[in-house]
Amino acid sequence: MEQPDLFSGLPGDLGDTVRDVPAPTPLVVATDGSCLRNPGPGGWCWFVADDCWAAGAEGATTNNRMELLAVAMVLEVVPAERPVHIQADSSYVIDALTKWRHGWKRRGWRTASGEPVKNLDLIEHLDVLVSERMPTFEWVRGHTGHAGNEAADERARAAAEAVHAGLPWVPGPGLVGR
């Protein structure tokens, strides 16, 4: 039996109706966390450029929590249609979000050893954000002159020092012109 021609009668060449639309350029963002003592006063920062960054702080926290919070905060503000490429000096953050979270989730948010996952509130929130946004990640060595990482580190540490001194920290201009 001969198959029917499903495409007969369609106007013109279908290729004429499809336009090659270039994918948006990923926003490259350096993230970092800082903790004066671990645990202790801490700060986080995401950094794109001198006129495009944000920072925050908590009085009693851990370095890993601040590293995670920097990623969560940038994923919350970048428009959904814009791809995001995150540069982080924390292998914990990258591994947690690209390798471990799936197993943790399957095990009811427990590690391979059966312990409860730390920073569960952030990990669950990031599980949703990363699943929706699908950012790419790149590990960068900290404190070696990587411009974005150094800028994020400087601002995260300044936020941690401010909260430790009981002062307001500089929150940054946010996502401007990107």
Tell me which residues are annotated as active site.
32-33, 67, 89, 143, 153
Q: Where are the domains of the chain?
A: 23-164
Its pTM stands at 0.87
Select the CATH number that applies to the domain covering 23-164 from these four: 3.10.180.10, 3.40.718.10, 3.30.420.10, 3.40.50.2300: 3.30.420.10
Q: What is the pLDDT along the chain (178 residues), one digit of tens a residue?
A: 676 666 666 555 555 555 677 888 999 999 999 999 989 999 999 999 999 999 999 999 999 999 999 999 999 999 999 999 999 999 999 999 999 999 999 999 999 999 999 999 999 999 999 999 999 999 999 989 999 999 999 999 999 999 999 999 999 999 987 6
Got the DSSP string for the chain?
A: -PPP-TTTT--S-GGGG---PPPPPPEEEEEEEEESSSSEEEEEEEEEETTEEEEEEEEEE-HHHHHHHHHHHHHHHS-TTS-EEEEES-HHHHHIIIIIHHHHHHTTSB-TTSPBPTTHHHHHHHHHHHHHH--EEEE--TTS--HHHHHHHHHHHHHHHHHHTT-PPP---BS---
